[in-house]
Structure 1
Amino acid sequence: MDTNEPANEAGNTAPAPRRRAQGLGREVILEACLKLAHGTEPDALSFRKIGKELGADPTALYRHFADKDELLLALADRVIAKGMEGYRPGPSWEASLRDLMLRTRASFLRYPQVATLAALRVTRQEGELEFIEAMLGALDRAGFERREAVRVYRACGDFMLAWTGFSAGLVLLGEKSALDDEAWVSRYAEVSAQQYPLAVSSVEMMAAVQDEDNHRFALDLLLGGIAARLAN
C-alpha cells in the first residue's frame, strides 16, 4: 500500500495523529487564532475550533494559556502590535494621533472576532505599551501638560476602541446590517411626518452614511476639539 500513513494491526490506514502538544507554542497558537479571526463564523475562537485548526487536542492549549481570557488578551495585543508595524511620528502631533488611531483600528478590523471580544480590554503587554508611548509622545510634542495629555489619550483611546468594536460588530453582521438600514427607512415611512418632521425627512440621508466615512468625520471632530483645547 503506497501511503505515508501508518497502518493498524488489521491493515487499515490509521488517521493522521494529532500534533503533539509539545510541538505547539504560543506563537503557533496565536497565528492559528488570527487566521480564524479573519472570518465571520460565530464563536470562531472557541478552543474546540482552535484545536481543530491546529490539528491538536483543545486541552493542549491550556499548556500555554491559563484560560480563554489570557488567550484573548494576547491576541488583542498581537493585533495592536501588527497595527504599530511601520509607524513613524507624523509631521505634526495631530497627524501622529490620526495615524495611530486609524492604523490600530484598521488592524483590529482585519480580525473582527478579536475586536468584538477583546478590543475593550487592557492587555498590559508590549503592543499596547508601544501604542500608549507613541500617543503620549505625540501629545508631549504638542505641548500638553502631562495630566492633560493623559486625559486626551484616554479620550482618544476609548474613542478608537469603542468605535472599532462597533464597526467590527457591523462586519460580523454582514448583510444583516444593510437590512437593518432598509428596515429603518421603511419603518420611518410609517411615522407621522407632522409629529417628527426632521427625523422622517432625514432618515434616508442618515441611513446612507457609511460607517467608515462617519468614523473619519467623528475623528476630525475629536481632533479639532483637541486642537482647540490646546489653543486655549
Structure 2
Amino acid sequence: MAGRRRWSTDEILDGAAELLRTGDAESFSVRRLAAELGTDSSSLYRHFRSKTELLRAVADRILLAAMEGHRPEGDWKQRITTLALRVREAFGQQPQLASVWGRHASSGAGSRLVMEEVLQALRASGLADEEVPGRYHRIVILIVSLISSEAGVSALSPDEHEQGMELFRVAVLGADPERFPALAHFARAIQPLGADRRAAFEEILGAQLAHIEASVGPGRPAGA
C-alpha cells in the first residue's frame, strides 16, 4: 500500500490559507487542515510545532507579498503611509487572514521587512534613537488594529452586511431624541463603519505621524 503523500511547507501554507479563506482562526485546526490535505496531524507538526506557529507563518506570507517589489520613496511620512497602504491592500484581498495577523502577529521574513522599513523611516524623521522603539510600537498597533477591524467588515457575507446596515439604521435613525439627543441630532450625518474606510485609515494614520513630526525639534538631524 502506498504511503501518504509528503506535503512541503509551502503546500501546507497554501492549504492553510485556503482553509482560512472559508473560515476563521477560531474554527481552524491542524487536524482539520490535515484532513483537507489527506494526511495526519503528525505529518504537519514536522513542519510547524503548533497551530499558532502555523498561523503566524500564513500571516507572514501576506506581509511578504505586500513587501514584494517595494521601494521606499518620499519622506519618512510618505514611506510609512505607503507601507501601511500596501499591507492594508494585501490583507484586503484575503480579509480572513487579517484577524490571524492581528491576533497571532508574525515573526518571519515578511514581518522583519515591515519592521525594518518602519524603523528606518522613523529614524529619518529626526527622532532620537531612544524614542524610536516606543513610536514604532504605537504605529504598528494602530496599523494592525485598523486593518484587522476593516477586514472584519470586509469578510461579512452580503446577507450579514445588509443585516448590519439595517441594525445601524434602526439604532441611529430611530434613536429617541429625548434619551439620545446628540445621536438624534447627528443621525443623518453619521456613516456606518464600513463607509469610506480608506480615507479614515489615511487620516487616522496621518494624525499619528503628524504628532510624531510635531515632537521632533526644528533642525534636529535624523537619528540624533
Q: TM-score, normalised by structure 1?
A: 0.80
State the Cα deviation string for residues 72-100 of structure 1 (Å, max 9, x = none).
Answer: 11112222121111111111111100011
The corresponding residue for 1:150 is: 133
Q: 2: distance between equivalents of 1:97 and 1:36?
A: 31
Q: 1: distance between equivalents of 2:3 and 2:167?
A: 48
The corresponding residue for 1:92 is: 75
Alignment check: 8 A CA contact 1:84 1:131 kept: yes
Query: Where does the alignment leave 5 or more consecutive residues of structure 2 unmatched?
Result: 219-224
Identity %: 26
Alignment check: 8 A CA contact 1:112 1:172 kept: yes
Query: Where does the alignment leave 5 or more consecutive residues of structure 1 unmatched?
Result: 1-5, 7-16
Aligned positions of 1:96-107 closer than 5 A: 96-107=79-90
RMSD: 2.5
The corresponding residue for 1:222 is: 208
The corresponding residue for 2:222 is: none
Alignment check: 8 A CA contact 1:79 1:107 kept: yes
Aligned residues: 214
Q: TM-score, normalised by structure 2?
A: 0.82
2:118 pairs with 1:132: no
Q: 2: distance between equivalents of 1:36 and 1:98?
A: 31
Q: 1: distance between equivalents of 2:169 and 2:12?
A: 44
The corresponding residue for 1:11 is: none
2:143 pairs with 1:160: yes
In the superposition, relative to structure 1, how do residues 174 and 201 fare at CA in structure 2: closer, same or farther (>3 Å)?
farther
State the Cα deviation string for residues 165-186 of structure 1 (Å, max 9, x = none).
Answer: 1112212223324422321221
| TM-superposed deviation, 1:48 | 4.3
| TM-superposed deviation, 1:66 | 1.5
Q: 2: distance between equivalents of 1:106 and 1:172?
A: 14
* Larger displacement relative to structure 2 (103-112 or 136-145): 103-112
Query: Helix, strand or coil for the counterpart of 1:144?
Result: coil
Q: 1: distance between equivalents of 2:144 and 2:67?
A: 15
2:34 pairs with 1:51: yes
State the Cα deviation string for residues 173-220 of structure 1 (Å, max 9, x = none).
Answer: 233244223212212333322443321232343235333332222222
> Which structure has the larger Rg?
1
Identify the structure with bigger relative contact order (alpha carbons < 8 Å, sequence gap 6+): 2
Query: Helix, strand or coil for the counterpart of 2:187?
Result: helix
Q: 2: distance between equivalents of 1:170 and 1:30?
A: 24
Q: 1: distance between equivalents of 2:74 and 2:174?
A: 51
* Larger displacement relative to structure 2 (136-145 or 102-111): 102-111
Alignment check: 8 A CA contact 2:98 2:151 kept: yes
State the Cα deviation string for residues 78-133 of structure 1 (Å, max 9, x = none).
Answer: 22121111111111111100011111222223232322123233433222111111
Among 177, 186, 190, the residue aligned to 2:174:
190
